Amino acid sequence: MRRREAVSSSAIEGTYASIDELFRLKADERSAAPSPDTREVRNYVVALDHGVKRLDELPICLRLMRELHERLMRGVTPAHGGRLAPGEFRQSQNWIGDPSSTVATARFVPPPPNEVMPALDELERYINDLAPPSLPRLVRVALVHYQFETIHPFADGNGRVGRLLIPLMLARIDAHRHPLLFMAPYFERHRDEYIDRMYNASLAGAWRPWLDFFLRGVIEEASDAIGRIRTLNEVLSEFRSRLKNVGAKANTLLMVDRLLEMPYFTIPAIQAAIRVSYPTAKWIAQMLVLVGIAKEVEGSRPRLFVASDIMSVLNRPFEPRSGPG
């Protein structure tokens, strides 16, 4: 789910990689030299994981925003020869519009640099002030996202840092450690509407349409996540019964539990994941292939395996649902 989010959030900004590429890279750094786009999307996963870890130590604050930005932009070559300034808030005027626009013709001009810090300070206070009377939490998250994007505090990467903050805010509010609800796939499906509705909130104070749009996305993405998790659970229990039928040992079943995190794996990756010797790991890989859970990726050195049934669920396009359940 985190990788699905990274892929969508980056695609909104024109940076493309697939979930498969990200998992392959995780399984074996050396197998494929990642393209600059893949590296950038991987940074998104790194930033998200970092944010989750930091939630134990920090509130959602400006420092966290800078840390997310720093990880997102690390090692990235700026487009159009600009400056990325990883982890730094901007000190110059920026604007939003098509690439040929100037500050005078831009569609939207965020606040001047000297207003960025005061605006961010207020945003930080708003995020953490949960004293009643307060708006419903999801409404607050929608407003924070709009506000963050409107301040546009970084030279680049604002869309992605703003979207990273959504699952982190939700995870923090609900006191669950793992972010479960991601919005980027929804924003990607409705990219123009996403941007237009934020624009119209600034232009005409059209809050309701922005909130309606955001909350509709929460419903869609929550039910999408539930559907995917259900199917994944079914796939895994079917894997387990296949293995039990052939009398597989506990080690092999242990590996099934790890497949969601590592649907692509090498033999050394099995070794590391469940702490077994190389011969045992090799045996487990063969077993998984034998019962049709995994297959070897042709021509891969070192040998790479993939549990395609899991990848199909992760890659499955969004399916609108008619009703609850």
Task: List contacts with Mg ion (CB under 5 A).
Answer: 13, 156
Interaction partner, residue 96 (Mg ion, ligand ADP, none; CB < 5-8 Å by kind): ligand ADP
CB 55 within 8 A of CB 68: no
User: Quick check: 153 binds ligand ADP (CB under 6 A)?
Assistant: no
Q: Closer CB to ligand ADP, residue 147 or residue 252?
A: 147
Count the residues of the shown chain that bind ligand ADP, applying the rule CB under 6 A. Answer: 16
How big is the chain by its Cα radius of gyration, in Å? 22
User: Quick check: 195 binds ligand ADP (CB under 6 A)?
Assistant: yes
Question: Least distance in Å: CB of 185 to Mg ion?
Answer: 18
Q: By rule CB under 6 A, what string of x and - marks binding of each residue 96-135 to ligand ADP?
A: x-----------x---------------------------
Question: Least distance in Å: CB of 10 to ligand ADP?
Answer: 8
User: Quick check: 88 binds ligand ADP (CB under 6 A)?
Assistant: no
From candidates 8, 38, 158, 252, binder to ligand ADP by CB under 6 A:
158
Phi/psi for 108 (5° steps) reads -145, 135
CB 151 within 8 A of CB 65: no
CB 147 within 8 A of CB 133: no
Q: By rule CB under 6 A, what string of x and - marks binding of each residue 16-55 to ligand ADP?
A: ----------------------------------------
User: Quick check: 8 binds ligand ADP (CB under 6 A)?
Assistant: no
Q: Closer CB to Mg ion, residue 14 or residue 317?
A: 14
The span of 42-50, 191-199, 254-262, 266-274 binding ligand ADP (CB under 6 A) equals 191-199
From candidates 2, 4, 69, 160, binder to ligand ADP by CB under 6 A:
160
